[in-house]
Amino acid sequence: MIRNGLFAGFLLILVGCTAVTDEVRETVEYAFKDTEDAELSADEIENFPYTSLYAQWQGKARSLIVLGFINKPNKYHFITADKETLVLENGRVTRTQSLDDNLLSVSNLKSDPLRCIVTTPQSCNNRWQRAYDYQFDDGTRVSRNVKSTFSVKQREQLAMPYGSATATLVEEAGTFLLTGQRFVNRFWVEPDGHVIKSEQRIIPNKPLLNLTQVTWIGRTNNSESAQ
């Protein structure tokens, strides 16, 4: 699904925007080896000029994915060399493209408690209902209604790829209403609402997707300056 080998793809995405040095090329080629999980060293992370995440489907190798572009105000498109795309809004995957099975859309995103449950909990609803639209690899399209309840757990000190960070764990207990299938998503959220780590069920009966922030350009550790 999300494959190693992003290097050539993100250079095409970014051509004309930022010069890519030989050092960065070598770093990316190392990170995308097929034989091991992607892992950048502390120095490589410090000098990596793009916003990036580790992405790992449960039971699969870890990949490094890079931010291709942003649709304002907050749709972040992370893209691979095979033109696979994950779109994140408030840390949640809300659309995918070119995977075997794809999430086409999520309704009622304006009511997603991730927008406010850490920053303004007193005025934030902890329940959310929406519809997911999917397209499976055989071309079938389906819609699934989902309801969730959110709870704010403890603050945790996390060992992130870029260093130590403090974030609040938010758990989402959800149910696919047609089948009764239950799932638990977890989001680690900084004080300003920025999600630095997550475990998400994107598609029913598919593995969890783990996302971990590696670099976020324009943002420092535990910064309140950017989302």
DSSP per residue over 18-83, as a string? S---HHHHHHHHHHT-TTS-----HHHHHH--S-EEEEEETTS--EEEEEEEEETTTEEEEE-TT-
Query: Quick one: pLDDT at residue 22?
Result: 54
- What tens digit of pLDDT does each residue of 156-209 get? 999 999 999 999 999 999 999 999 999 999 999 999 999 999 999 999 988 999
Tell me which residue has tokens 């799932």.
Answer: 183
| Among the listed residues 113, 104, 174, 175, the one whose alpha carbon sits nearest the alpha carbon of residue 139 | 104
**How deeply is 146 buried, as exposed, middle or buried, from its count of CB atoms within 10 A (0-12, 13-18, 19+)?**
buried
Q: Going by C-beta distance under 8 Å and a sequence separation of 6 or more, which residues neighbour residue 162?
A: 42, 45, 213, 214, 215, 221
Is residue 73 reached through a cis peptide bond, with omega within 30 degrees of 0 on the bond before it? Answer: yes
User: pTM of the predicted model, to two decimals?
Assistant: 0.84
Contact 93, 209 (CB under 8 A): yes
Q: Give mean pLDDT, residues 61-79.
A: 88
Contact 35, 116 (CB under 8 A): no
- Confidence band of 73 (pLDDT split at 50, 70, 90): confident
Report percent pLDDT > 70 for the chain.
79
